[in-house]
Amino acid sequence: MLTLPASVRLFVATEAVDMRKGIDGLKLLASNVVREDPLSGHIFVFANRRGNVMKALWWDRTGFVVLMKRLERGTFRLPRVEPPERRAEIDAGELHLLLEGFDRARAKPGKRWYRSPHKSLAERNSS
């Protein structure tokens, strides 16, 4: 599992990309398709037409990092978005599922507890 700061956002280009692209080509895609600054420190994820190769681009303040994964069997299941949208934003857990080849649309998260930010401490103690 990846541990990322809350300030890092993860963007997935939902259209197929030519995997021959290097850092400069992926930077252009991050700007033009995902519509975000590639120097922002966010992570940009791209997949090929067959869906078996994925690349991620990340600026770490000193240079670009490109990660690549090829599935030997199966395909990556990219998030679906309504046109004209060409990107989806996911969290680190969803990226982990994506990299493992899971269809995140079919994965059901378990029940979670969230503290209500609207209740005061006195209200929480009285209930």
DSSP string covering 67-105 = EEEE-SSS---PPP--TT--EEEE-HHHHHHHHTT--TT
Residue 23 lies in a domain: yes
Residue 27 lies in a domain: yes
Residue 113 lies in a domain: no
pLDDT tens-digit readout, 2-26: 678 888 999 999 999 999 999 999 9
Residue 99 lies in a domain: yes
Give yes or no for a contact between 39 and 57, defined as CB atoms under 8 angstroms apart: no
Neighbours of 92 (CB within 10 A): 15
Alpha-carbon distances of 111 from 1, 55, 115, rounded to whole Å: 20, 31, 13
Give yes or no for a contact between 37 and 66, defined as CB atoms under 8 angstroms apart: no
Q: Which of 24, 78, 9, 89 is nearest to 50 (CA)?
A: 78
| Number of domains comprising the chain | 1
Residue 112 lies in a domain: no
Structural domain range at position 55: 10-107
Residue 3 lies in a domain: no
pLDDT tens-digit readout, 31-67: 999 999 999 999 999 999 999 999 999 999 999 999 9
Residue 119 lies in a domain: no
What is the pTM (predicted TM-score) of this model? 0.80
d(CA 55, CA 99): 10
Residue 55 lies in a domain: yes
